Chains A and B, each alone.
Chain A
Amino acid sequence: MVLRSIKLALVLVWYFLATATAYAQEEGAATARQVVEKFQAELIEVMKNGKQLGYAGRYEKLKDPVSNSHDLTKIARIVVGKEWEKLSEDQQQNLVDVFSRLSIASYAHNFKEYSGESFVFDSEEETARGGVVVHSHLVVPGEKDVKFDYMLKEKGPSWRIINIIANGVSDLALKRSEYTAILQREGFDALIAKINEKIDNYSKQ
Protein backbone atom coordinates (compact mmCIF):
# COMPACT_ATOMS: atom_id res chain seq x y z
CA MET A 1 0.00 0.00 0.00
CA VAL A 2 2.79 2.39 0.99
CA LEU A 3 4.68 1.32 -2.07
CA ARG A 4 1.70 2.05 -4.21
CA SER A 5 1.25 5.57 -2.91
CA ILE A 6 4.94 6.30 -3.38
CA LYS A 7 4.62 5.10 -6.90
CA LEU A 8 1.63 7.32 -7.45
CA ALA A 9 3.46 10.31 -6.00
CA LEU A 10 6.41 9.63 -8.24
CA VAL A 11 4.21 9.42 -11.28
CA LEU A 12 2.57 12.70 -10.33
CA VAL A 13 5.92 14.40 -9.84
CA TRP A 14 7.16 13.04 -13.13
CA TYR A 15 4.03 14.20 -14.88
CA PHE A 16 4.37 17.66 -13.37
CA LEU A 17 8.02 17.91 -14.37
CA ALA A 18 7.27 16.75 -17.88
CA THR A 19 4.57 19.36 -18.43
CA ALA A 20 6.75 22.01 -16.82
CA THR A 21 9.64 21.33 -19.20
CA ALA A 22 7.28 21.21 -22.13
CA TYR A 23 6.03 24.67 -21.22
CA ALA A 24 9.56 25.92 -20.76
CA GLN A 25 10.44 24.75 -24.24
CA GLU A 26 7.44 26.40 -25.76
CA GLU A 27 8.17 29.72 -24.15
CA GLY A 28 11.92 29.69 -24.58
CA ALA A 29 14.02 28.58 -27.51
CA ALA A 30 12.52 26.35 -30.15
CA THR A 31 13.82 22.80 -30.48
CA ALA A 32 15.41 21.63 -33.71
CA ARG A 33 12.22 19.85 -34.70
CA GLN A 34 10.13 22.95 -34.06
CA VAL A 35 12.42 25.09 -36.19
CA VAL A 36 12.12 22.66 -39.09
CA GLU A 37 8.37 22.23 -38.76
CA LYS A 38 7.75 25.95 -38.53
CA PHE A 39 9.78 26.53 -41.66
CA GLN A 40 8.02 23.73 -43.54
CA ALA A 41 4.63 25.13 -42.55
CA GLU A 42 5.64 28.57 -43.80
CA LEU A 43 6.88 27.06 -47.04
CA ILE A 44 3.62 25.18 -47.64
CA GLU A 45 1.70 28.36 -46.88
CA VAL A 46 3.64 30.25 -49.54
CA MET A 47 3.13 27.41 -52.01
CA LYS A 48 -0.63 27.58 -51.42
CA ASN A 49 -0.66 31.26 -52.36
CA GLY A 50 2.16 30.84 -54.84
CA LYS A 51 0.31 31.83 -57.97
CA GLN A 52 -1.25 35.02 -56.59
CA LEU A 53 1.97 36.07 -54.90
CA GLY A 54 4.12 35.74 -58.00
CA TYR A 55 7.87 35.44 -57.75
CA ALA A 56 8.43 38.78 -56.02
CA GLY A 57 5.68 38.10 -53.52
CA ARG A 58 7.01 34.65 -52.69
CA TYR A 59 10.50 36.09 -52.27
CA GLU A 60 9.25 38.69 -49.80
CA LYS A 61 7.18 36.14 -47.86
CA LEU A 62 10.06 33.67 -47.63
CA LYS A 63 12.78 36.17 -46.76
CA ASP A 64 12.28 36.02 -43.00
CA PRO A 65 11.36 32.34 -42.69
CA VAL A 66 14.51 31.33 -44.60
CA SER A 67 16.87 33.69 -42.78
CA ASN A 68 15.43 32.84 -39.37
CA SER A 69 15.57 29.08 -39.78
CA HIS A 70 18.85 28.73 -41.70
CA ASP A 71 22.29 29.76 -40.53
CA LEU A 72 23.07 31.39 -43.85
CA THR A 73 26.37 32.90 -42.71
CA LYS A 74 27.70 29.55 -41.62
CA ILE A 75 26.39 27.82 -44.75
CA ALA A 76 28.06 30.40 -47.00
CA ARG A 77 31.26 29.84 -45.09
CA ILE A 78 31.20 26.05 -45.27
CA VAL A 79 30.26 26.14 -48.92
CA VAL A 80 33.55 27.80 -49.96
CA GLY A 81 35.60 25.54 -47.70
CA LYS A 82 39.19 26.51 -47.08
CA GLU A 83 38.93 29.35 -49.59
CA TRP A 84 37.02 31.34 -46.94
CA GLU A 85 40.20 32.33 -45.17
CA LYS A 86 41.71 33.65 -48.40
CA LEU A 87 38.84 36.10 -48.87
CA SER A 88 39.00 39.68 -47.61
CA GLU A 89 36.42 40.80 -45.07
CA ASP A 90 34.49 42.70 -47.75
CA GLN A 91 34.48 39.66 -49.98
CA GLN A 92 33.24 37.48 -47.14
CA GLN A 93 30.40 39.87 -46.43
CA ASN A 94 29.59 40.12 -50.13
CA LEU A 95 29.48 36.34 -50.40
CA VAL A 96 27.16 35.97 -47.42
CA ASP A 97 24.79 38.62 -48.84
CA VAL A 98 24.67 37.19 -52.35
CA PHE A 99 24.41 33.63 -51.05
CA SER A 100 21.49 34.55 -48.79
CA ARG A 101 19.64 36.10 -51.69
CA LEU A 102 20.30 33.00 -53.80
CA SER A 103 18.92 30.72 -51.09
CA ILE A 104 15.69 32.69 -50.77
CA ALA A 105 15.39 33.06 -54.56
CA SER A 106 15.73 29.33 -55.16
CA TYR A 107 13.00 28.60 -52.61
CA ALA A 108 10.78 31.24 -54.23
CA HIS A 109 11.43 29.73 -57.64
CA ASN A 110 11.11 26.04 -56.87
CA PHE A 111 8.20 26.09 -54.45
CA LYS A 112 5.84 28.11 -56.58
CA GLU A 113 2.65 26.13 -56.59
CA TYR A 114 0.61 23.84 -54.44
CA SER A 115 -0.89 20.52 -55.42
CA GLY A 116 -1.66 18.96 -52.07
CA GLU A 117 1.94 18.52 -50.83
CA SER A 118 2.60 18.10 -47.12
CA PHE A 119 5.63 17.54 -44.93
CA VAL A 120 5.66 14.65 -42.47
CA PHE A 121 8.06 14.35 -39.55
CA ASP A 122 9.76 10.94 -39.26
CA SER A 123 12.39 11.03 -36.55
CA GLU A 124 15.14 13.02 -34.92
CA GLU A 125 18.66 12.02 -34.00
CA GLU A 126 21.69 13.62 -32.45
CA THR A 127 25.05 13.66 -34.18
CA ALA A 128 28.38 13.08 -32.51
CA ARG A 129 29.23 16.77 -32.37
CA GLY A 130 26.06 18.09 -30.85
CA GLY A 131 24.10 18.63 -34.02
CA VAL A 132 20.62 17.30 -34.64
CA VAL A 133 19.29 15.66 -37.80
CA VAL A 134 15.55 15.90 -38.38
CA HIS A 135 14.29 13.27 -40.78
CA SER A 136 11.11 14.10 -42.66
CA HIS A 137 9.54 13.55 -46.03
CA LEU A 138 7.41 15.51 -48.44
CA VAL A 139 4.27 13.78 -49.61
CA VAL A 140 3.49 14.66 -53.21
CA PRO A 141 0.12 13.30 -54.36
CA GLY A 142 0.54 10.89 -57.25
CA GLU A 143 4.30 10.83 -56.96
CA LYS A 144 6.94 9.17 -54.85
CA ASP A 145 7.68 10.77 -51.49
CA VAL A 146 10.73 13.00 -51.33
CA LYS A 147 12.94 12.49 -48.31
CA PHE A 148 14.09 15.67 -46.59
CA ASP A 149 16.74 15.37 -43.91
CA TYR A 150 17.65 18.58 -42.12
CA MET A 151 20.92 18.98 -40.28
CA LEU A 152 20.78 21.61 -37.54
CA LYS A 153 23.30 23.24 -35.23
CA GLU A 154 22.70 25.29 -32.15
CA LYS A 155 23.14 29.00 -32.65
CA GLY A 156 22.69 31.11 -29.55
CA PRO A 157 19.40 30.18 -27.95
CA SER A 158 17.94 28.51 -31.02
CA TRP A 159 18.61 25.88 -33.66
CA ARG A 160 19.43 26.68 -37.25
CA ILE A 161 19.41 24.54 -40.39
CA ILE A 162 22.86 24.18 -41.92
CA ASN A 163 22.19 21.44 -44.44
CA ILE A 164 19.30 19.84 -46.30
CA ILE A 165 19.62 16.39 -47.76
CA ALA A 166 16.91 15.79 -50.36
CA ASN A 167 16.54 12.15 -51.40
CA GLY A 168 20.11 11.49 -50.34
CA VAL A 169 21.63 14.47 -52.13
CA SER A 170 23.25 16.89 -49.70
CA ASP A 171 22.74 20.50 -50.70
CA LEU A 172 25.78 21.58 -48.73
CA ALA A 173 28.10 18.99 -50.27
CA LEU A 174 26.80 19.77 -53.75
CA LYS A 175 27.24 23.51 -53.40
CA ARG A 176 30.62 23.09 -51.77
CA SER A 177 31.99 21.08 -54.68
CA GLU A 178 30.67 23.61 -57.14
CA TYR A 179 31.78 26.73 -55.31
CA THR A 180 35.27 25.54 -54.48
CA ALA A 181 35.73 24.35 -58.07
CA ILE A 182 34.73 27.76 -59.42
CA LEU A 183 36.87 29.64 -56.89
CA GLN A 184 39.89 27.55 -57.84
CA ARG A 185 39.37 27.71 -61.56
CA GLU A 186 37.96 31.18 -62.09
CA GLY A 187 38.24 33.19 -58.89
CA PHE A 188 35.95 35.08 -56.53
CA ASP A 189 34.48 37.64 -58.93
CA ALA A 190 33.40 34.93 -61.35
CA LEU A 191 31.67 33.08 -58.51
CA ILE A 192 29.71 36.15 -57.44
CA ALA A 193 28.83 36.94 -61.06
CA LYS A 194 27.52 33.40 -61.56
CA ILE A 195 25.42 33.48 -58.41
CA ASN A 196 23.93 36.82 -59.43
CA GLU A 197 23.13 35.41 -62.85
CA LYS A 198 21.23 32.53 -61.20
CA ILE A 199 19.25 34.92 -59.02
CA ASP A 200 18.35 36.93 -62.14
CA ASN A 201 17.20 33.82 -63.98
CA TYR A 202 15.08 32.72 -61.04
CA SER A 203 13.36 36.08 -60.90
CA LYS A 204 12.48 36.00 -64.59
CA GLN A 205 10.52 32.76 -64.54
Chain B
Amino acid sequence: MLMNKLNGNRYGKIKQTLSGMLIGAAVTLSGCASTGGVEQQVEANPVDPYEGFNRKMYVFNDTVDDYVAKPISDAYKFITPQFVQTGVFNFFNNLKNINIVLNDVLQAKFQQSAHDTGRFAINTTVGLAGLFDVAKQFGLEQNEEDFEQTLAVWGVPQGSYLVLPFLGPTTARGIPGSIFDTAANPVTYVGAPVQLVSMLNSRANAEGALKFIDEAALDPYVFTRESFLQWRHSLAADGKVDVSDDLLDFEEEALEDDVNATSGQTAAAEQDASGNTTNPKAFALKLSADNKEFEQVSNSFSSTAQSFDATAKSFEEASNKIDQLKFK
Protein backbone atom coordinates (compact mmCIF):
# COMPACT_ATOMS: atom_id res chain seq x y z
CA MET B 1 0.00 0.00 0.00
CA LEU B 2 1.90 2.97 -1.26
CA MET B 3 -0.68 5.46 -0.10
CA ASN B 4 0.08 4.39 3.38
CA LYS B 5 3.76 4.75 2.98
CA LEU B 6 3.40 8.20 1.61
CA ASN B 7 1.66 9.48 4.64
CA GLY B 8 3.46 7.52 7.26
CA ASN B 9 6.07 8.82 9.59
CA ARG B 10 8.71 8.68 6.91
CA TYR B 11 9.18 12.36 6.28
CA GLY B 12 9.98 12.86 9.91
CA LYS B 13 12.65 10.28 9.64
CA ILE B 14 14.21 11.84 6.61
CA LYS B 15 14.25 15.04 8.57
CA GLN B 16 16.16 13.42 11.36
CA THR B 17 18.57 11.79 8.99
CA LEU B 18 22.12 13.04 9.01
CA SER B 19 21.46 15.57 11.72
CA GLY B 20 24.51 17.39 12.94
CA MET B 21 26.06 17.80 9.53
CA LEU B 22 24.42 21.15 9.04
CA ILE B 23 27.60 23.17 9.35
CA GLY B 24 29.36 21.13 6.73
CA ALA B 25 26.40 21.74 4.45
CA ALA B 26 26.53 25.50 4.84
CA VAL B 27 30.08 25.44 3.50
CA THR B 28 29.27 23.33 0.45
CA LEU B 29 26.16 25.30 -0.24
CA SER B 30 27.79 28.62 -0.94
CA GLY B 31 29.16 26.95 -4.05
CA CYS B 32 25.85 25.39 -4.88
CA ALA B 33 23.71 28.47 -4.61
CA SER B 34 25.55 30.45 -7.24
CA THR B 35 25.09 27.73 -9.84
CA GLY B 36 21.30 27.66 -9.54
CA GLY B 37 19.45 27.80 -12.85
CA VAL B 38 17.16 30.46 -14.25
CA GLU B 39 14.76 31.66 -11.66
CA GLN B 40 11.26 32.59 -12.62
CA GLN B 41 9.45 34.53 -10.00
CA VAL B 42 5.83 33.52 -9.91
CA GLU B 43 3.12 34.37 -7.41
CA ALA B 44 4.78 33.82 -4.06
CA ASN B 45 3.08 31.21 -1.93
CA PRO B 46 2.37 32.69 1.52
CA VAL B 47 3.63 29.58 3.33
CA ASP B 48 6.72 29.35 1.16
CA PRO B 49 8.26 32.81 0.89
CA TYR B 50 11.76 31.36 0.45
CA GLU B 51 10.80 29.11 -2.45
CA GLY B 52 13.87 30.08 -4.49
CA PHE B 53 16.22 29.01 -1.71
CA ASN B 54 14.11 26.01 -0.78
CA ARG B 55 14.07 24.66 -4.32
CA LYS B 56 17.87 24.83 -4.43
CA MET B 57 18.08 22.98 -1.13
CA TYR B 58 15.61 20.43 -2.46
CA VAL B 59 17.77 19.78 -5.52
CA PHE B 60 20.85 19.63 -3.31
CA ASN B 61 19.27 17.09 -0.94
CA ASP B 62 18.01 15.10 -3.87
CA THR B 63 21.49 14.93 -5.35
CA VAL B 64 23.02 13.90 -2.02
CA ASP B 65 20.34 11.25 -1.72
CA ASP B 66 20.92 9.93 -5.24
CA TYR B 67 24.68 9.68 -4.92
CA VAL B 68 25.23 8.93 -1.24
CA ALA B 69 22.22 7.99 0.87
CA LYS B 70 20.31 5.83 -1.62
CA PRO B 71 23.27 3.65 -2.67
CA ILE B 72 24.20 2.98 0.96
CA SER B 73 20.58 2.32 1.89
CA ASP B 74 20.12 0.00 -1.09
CA ALA B 75 23.22 -1.93 -0.07
CA TYR B 76 21.89 -2.20 3.48
CA LYS B 77 18.55 -3.48 2.25
CA PHE B 78 20.27 -5.95 -0.06
CA ILE B 79 22.68 -7.37 2.51
CA THR B 80 20.51 -7.38 5.62
CA PRO B 81 17.83 -10.05 6.07
CA GLN B 82 14.30 -8.72 6.46
CA PHE B 83 13.97 -9.83 10.10
CA VAL B 84 17.11 -7.91 11.03
CA GLN B 85 15.78 -4.80 9.26
CA THR B 86 12.50 -5.11 11.12
CA GLY B 87 14.33 -5.59 14.40
CA VAL B 88 16.47 -2.51 13.80
CA PHE B 89 13.38 -0.50 12.88
CA ASN B 90 11.52 -1.69 15.99
CA PHE B 91 14.49 -0.92 18.23
CA PHE B 92 14.80 2.72 17.17
CA ASN B 93 11.06 3.11 16.95
CA ASN B 94 10.69 1.93 20.52
CA LEU B 95 13.20 4.49 21.79
CA LYS B 96 11.05 7.20 20.23
CA ASN B 97 8.32 6.31 22.71
CA ILE B 98 10.15 8.21 25.47
CA ASN B 99 9.73 11.39 23.47
CA ILE B 100 6.15 10.47 22.58
CA VAL B 101 5.21 10.04 26.25
CA LEU B 102 6.85 13.36 27.12
CA ASN B 103 4.85 15.12 24.44
CA ASP B 104 1.63 13.35 25.41
CA VAL B 105 2.03 14.87 28.85
CA LEU B 106 2.96 18.30 27.49
CA GLN B 107 -0.25 18.22 25.43
CA ALA B 108 -2.25 17.07 28.47
CA LYS B 109 -3.15 13.78 26.73
CA PHE B 110 -2.82 11.75 29.89
CA GLN B 111 -4.76 8.72 28.80
CA GLN B 112 -2.65 8.48 25.69
CA SER B 113 0.53 8.92 27.70
CA ALA B 114 -0.48 5.94 29.82
CA HIS B 115 -1.09 3.93 26.65
CA ASP B 116 2.32 4.89 25.25
CA THR B 117 4.08 4.21 28.55
CA GLY B 118 2.54 0.76 28.55
CA ARG B 119 3.67 0.23 24.99
CA PHE B 120 7.22 1.24 25.82
CA ALA B 121 7.30 -0.93 28.95
CA ILE B 122 6.01 -4.03 27.15
CA ASN B 123 8.31 -3.69 24.16
CA THR B 124 11.39 -2.93 26.25
CA THR B 125 10.84 -5.98 28.47
CA VAL B 126 8.89 -8.68 26.67
CA GLY B 127 9.97 -7.30 23.28
CA LEU B 128 13.66 -7.71 24.21
CA ALA B 129 14.80 -4.08 24.38
CA GLY B 130 12.38 -3.14 21.64
CA LEU B 131 13.61 -5.56 18.97
CA PHE B 132 10.10 -7.03 18.77
CA ASP B 133 6.97 -4.96 18.61
CA VAL B 134 4.94 -7.12 20.96
CA ALA B 135 2.64 -4.31 22.00
CA LYS B 136 1.27 -4.06 18.47
CA GLN B 137 0.08 -7.65 18.70
CA PHE B 138 -1.80 -6.67 21.83
CA GLY B 139 -3.52 -3.90 19.94
CA LEU B 140 -1.41 -1.09 21.36
CA GLU B 141 -0.71 0.96 18.24
CA GLN B 142 2.03 3.56 18.34
CA ASN B 143 0.86 7.15 18.50
CA GLU B 144 2.67 9.84 16.64
CA GLU B 145 3.59 12.78 18.80
CA ASP B 146 6.53 15.14 18.79
CA PHE B 147 7.44 18.55 20.08
CA GLU B 148 6.43 20.34 16.90
CA GLN B 149 2.89 19.05 17.43
CA THR B 150 3.05 20.10 21.06
CA LEU B 151 3.99 23.62 19.98
CA ALA B 152 1.07 23.56 17.55
CA VAL B 153 -1.30 22.52 20.34
CA TRP B 154 0.06 25.36 22.46
CA GLY B 155 -0.87 27.77 19.70
CA VAL B 156 2.56 28.57 18.26
CA PRO B 157 2.07 29.52 14.59
CA GLN B 158 3.59 27.23 11.99
CA GLY B 159 5.76 29.82 10.27
CA SER B 160 7.34 29.50 6.85
CA TYR B 161 8.14 26.27 5.08
CA LEU B 162 11.85 25.56 4.94
CA VAL B 163 14.00 22.95 3.28
CA LEU B 164 17.18 22.45 5.27
CA PRO B 165 20.31 20.94 3.77
CA PHE B 166 20.52 17.21 4.64
CA LEU B 167 17.59 17.50 7.04
CA GLY B 168 14.87 18.03 4.47
CA PRO B 169 11.48 19.73 4.81
CA THR B 170 10.51 21.52 8.00
CA THR B 171 8.83 24.71 9.15
CA ALA B 172 9.91 27.55 11.40
CA ARG B 173 8.05 25.78 14.22
CA GLY B 174 9.63 22.47 13.27
CA ILE B 175 13.18 23.61 14.07
CA PRO B 176 12.75 23.98 17.86
CA GLY B 177 10.59 20.89 17.59
CA SER B 178 13.39 18.82 16.10
CA ILE B 179 15.91 20.14 18.62
CA PHE B 180 13.67 19.02 21.49
CA ASP B 181 12.97 15.65 19.85
CA THR B 182 16.67 15.04 19.24
CA ALA B 183 17.46 15.90 22.84
CA ALA B 184 14.76 13.53 24.08
CA ASN B 185 16.01 10.60 22.01
CA PRO B 186 18.56 8.31 23.72
CA VAL B 187 20.21 7.66 20.34
CA THR B 188 21.62 11.18 20.53
CA TYR B 189 23.77 10.26 23.52
CA VAL B 190 25.37 7.06 22.32
CA GLY B 191 28.26 6.61 19.95
CA ALA B 192 28.42 7.48 16.28
CA PRO B 193 28.05 3.86 15.06
CA VAL B 194 24.58 3.60 16.57
CA GLN B 195 23.63 6.95 15.09
CA LEU B 196 24.81 5.79 11.69
CA VAL B 197 22.67 2.66 11.89
CA SER B 198 19.77 4.84 12.94
CA MET B 199 20.22 7.04 9.87
CA LEU B 200 20.51 4.02 7.61
CA ASN B 201 17.32 2.62 9.09
CA SER B 202 15.55 5.95 8.53
CA ARG B 203 16.60 6.17 4.92
CA ALA B 204 15.74 2.54 4.24
CA ASN B 205 12.25 3.08 5.61
CA ALA B 206 11.74 6.24 3.58
CA GLU B 207 12.28 4.26 0.39
CA GLY B 208 8.57 3.65 -0.19
CA ALA B 209 7.61 7.29 0.28
CA LEU B 210 10.41 8.54 -1.94
CA LYS B 211 9.49 6.07 -4.65
CA PHE B 212 5.87 7.17 -4.44
CA ILE B 213 6.85 10.82 -4.84
CA ASP B 214 8.98 9.87 -7.81
CA GLU B 215 6.07 8.08 -9.44
CA ALA B 216 3.22 10.42 -8.65
CA ALA B 217 4.67 13.91 -8.56
CA LEU B 218 4.53 16.20 -11.56
CA ASP B 219 6.52 18.74 -9.61
CA PRO B 220 8.32 16.80 -6.85
CA TYR B 221 9.22 19.96 -4.95
CA VAL B 222 5.61 21.17 -4.70
CA PHE B 223 4.35 17.64 -4.08
CA THR B 224 6.75 17.16 -1.18
CA ARG B 225 5.94 20.57 0.28
CA GLU B 226 2.18 20.17 0.12
CA SER B 227 2.08 16.62 1.40
CA PHE B 228 4.54 17.45 4.17
CA LEU B 229 2.57 20.48 5.35
CA GLN B 230 -0.77 18.68 5.15
CA TRP B 231 0.59 15.64 6.92
CA ARG B 232 2.02 17.75 9.74
CA HIS B 233 -1.23 19.66 10.01
CA SER B 234 -3.22 16.46 10.18
CA LEU B 235 -0.94 15.07 12.92
CA ALA B 236 -1.28 18.22 15.00
CA ALA B 237 -5.06 17.97 14.63
CA ASP B 238 -4.88 14.27 15.59
CA GLY B 239 -6.22 13.19 12.23
CA LYS B 240 -9.43 15.16 12.41
CA VAL B 241 -10.49 16.41 9.02
CA ASP B 242 -11.69 19.97 9.11
CA VAL B 243 -14.58 19.88 6.69
CA SER B 244 -15.25 23.59 6.85
CA ASP B 245 -11.68 24.52 6.08
CA ASP B 246 -10.02 24.35 2.68
CA LEU B 247 -12.65 22.20 1.03
CA LEU B 248 -15.07 25.04 1.21
CA ASP B 249 -12.73 27.15 -0.87
CA PHE B 250 -12.75 24.57 -3.62
CA GLU B 251 -16.49 24.41 -3.54
CA GLU B 252 -16.78 28.15 -3.56
CA GLU B 253 -14.50 28.35 -6.52
CA ALA B 254 -16.36 25.67 -8.41
CA LEU B 255 -19.58 27.45 -7.61
CA GLU B 256 -18.15 30.76 -8.72
CA ASP B 257 -17.10 29.19 -11.99
CA ASP B 258 -20.59 27.88 -12.56
CA VAL B 259 -22.12 31.26 -11.95
CA ASN B 260 -19.48 33.00 -14.01
CA ALA B 261 -20.47 30.92 -16.97
CA THR B 262 -23.99 32.29 -16.88
CA SER B 263 -23.51 35.87 -15.79
CA GLY B 264 -20.59 37.69 -14.31
CA GLN B 265 -22.54 40.23 -12.34
CA THR B 266 -24.48 37.85 -10.16
CA ALA B 267 -21.22 36.11 -9.37
CA ALA B 268 -19.74 39.31 -8.02
CA ALA B 269 -22.85 40.05 -6.03
CA GLU B 270 -22.89 36.56 -4.56
CA GLN B 271 -19.26 36.80 -3.64
CA ASP B 272 -19.95 40.03 -1.82
CA ALA B 273 -22.80 38.49 0.05
CA SER B 274 -20.87 35.39 0.98
CA GLY B 275 -17.97 37.58 2.08
CA ASN B 276 -20.24 39.44 4.43
CA THR B 277 -21.75 36.37 5.95
CA THR B 278 -18.56 34.42 6.46
CA ASN B 279 -17.00 36.95 8.80
CA PRO B 280 -19.31 36.65 11.78
CA LYS B 281 -19.46 32.94 11.15
CA ALA B 282 -15.71 32.65 11.29
CA PHE B 283 -15.72 34.62 14.51
CA ALA B 284 -18.32 32.36 16.03
CA LEU B 285 -16.29 29.37 14.93
CA LYS B 286 -13.23 30.74 16.63
CA LEU B 287 -15.13 31.36 19.83
CA SER B 288 -16.51 27.88 19.88
CA ALA B 289 -13.04 26.54 19.16
CA ASP B 290 -11.69 28.42 22.17
CA ASN B 291 -14.44 26.98 24.27
CA LYS B 292 -13.64 23.54 23.04
CA GLU B 293 -10.02 23.93 24.04
CA PHE B 294 -11.00 24.78 27.60
CA GLU B 295 -13.28 21.82 27.65
CA GLN B 296 -10.58 19.56 26.32
CA VAL B 297 -8.10 20.64 28.94
CA SER B 298 -10.53 20.17 31.80
CA ASN B 299 -11.64 16.88 30.31
CA SER B 300 -8.13 15.63 30.04
CA PHE B 301 -7.41 16.50 33.65
CA SER B 302 -10.44 14.63 34.83
CA SER B 303 -9.45 11.69 32.69
CA THR B 304 -6.06 11.33 34.33
CA ALA B 305 -7.43 9.12 37.04
CA GLN B 306 -9.29 7.09 34.47
CA SER B 307 -6.17 6.67 32.43
CA PHE B 308 -4.33 5.15 35.36
CA ASP B 309 -7.08 2.62 35.61
CA ALA B 310 -6.77 2.00 31.90
CA THR B 311 -3.04 1.39 32.20
CA ALA B 312 -3.53 -1.06 35.01
CA LYS B 313 -6.14 -2.81 32.94
CA SER B 314 -3.98 -2.94 29.82
CA PHE B 315 -1.12 -4.40 31.84
CA GLU B 316 -3.47 -6.98 33.22
CA GLU B 317 -4.70 -7.85 29.75
CA ALA B 318 -1.17 -8.04 28.46
CA SER B 319 -0.08 -10.36 31.22
CA ASN B 320 -3.11 -12.51 30.60
CA LYS B 321 -2.17 -12.77 26.97
CA ILE B 322 1.39 -13.64 27.85
CA ASP B 323 0.07 -16.37 30.13
CA GLN B 324 -1.98 -17.71 27.28
CA LEU B 325 1.09 -17.71 25.08
CA LYS B 326 2.97 -19.68 27.69
CA PHE B 327 0.29 -22.32 27.77
CA LYS B 328 0.47 -22.70 24.05
Contacts and interface: CB of A to CB of B under 8 A. Distances in A.
Q: Do A and B come from one complex?
A: yes
A168 B231 contact: yes
Given A125-B243, A133-B241, A133-B243, A117 B1 contact: yes
Contacts of A27: none
A160 B235 CA distance: 28
A40 B169 CA distance: 33
A140 B4 contact: yes
Interface stretch (A5-13, A53-61, A173-181): A173-181
Given A131-B251, A149-B241, A178 B219 contact: yes
Contacts of A149: 241
Interface stretch (B14-22, B183-191, B253-261, B303-311): B253-261
A179 B225 CA distance: 14
Contacts of B265: none
A129 interface: yes
B312 interface: no
Contacts of B255: 129
Contacts of A62: none
B1 A140 contact: yes
Interface in A134-170: 135, 138, 140, 143-144, 146-147, 149, 151, 153, 162-163, 165-170
Contacts of B317: none
A202 B45 CA distance: 30
Interface in B218-269: 218-219, 222-223, 225-227, 230-231, 233-235, 237, 239, 241, 243-244, 246-248, 250-255, 257, 260
B149 to A, nearest CB: 12
B6 to A, nearest CB: 7
A201 B215 contact: yes
B257 A168 contact: no
A76 to B, nearest CB: 11
B257 A77 contact: yes
6 contacts: A140-B1, A144-B4, A162-B250, A163-B247, A167-B3, A198-B215
A49 to B, nearest CB: 17
Contacts of A144: 4, 8, 141
Given A77-B257, A127-B247, A131-B251, A178 B4 contact: no
Interface of A: 74, 77-78, 81-82, 84-85, 106, 109-110, 117, 125, 127-129, 131, 133, 135, 138, 140, 143-144, 146-147, 149, 151, 153, 162-163, 165-170, 172-174, 176-179, 181-182, 184-185, 191, 194-195, 198, 201-202, 205
Interface of B: 1-4, 6-8, 40, 42-43, 45, 141, 215-219, 222-223, 225-227, 230-231, 233-235, 237, 239, 241, 243-244, 246-248, 250-255, 257, 260
A171 B123 CA distance: 36
Contacts of B233: 168
B42 A147 contact: no
Contacts of A128: 244, 248
Nearest to B237: A168
A173 B4 contact: no
A194 B234 CA distance: 29
A22 B81 CA distance: 55
Nearest to A131: B251
A129 B234 contact: no
A68 B247 CA distance: 21
Given A163-B247, A167-B231, A168-B239, A129 B3 contact: no
A57 B45 CA distance: 41
Nearest to A193: B218
Contact of B248 (A127, A181, A195): A127
Contacts of B260: 85
Contacts of B43: 184
Nearest to B9: A144
Contacts of B252: 129
B227 A169 contact: yes
B7 A195 contact: no
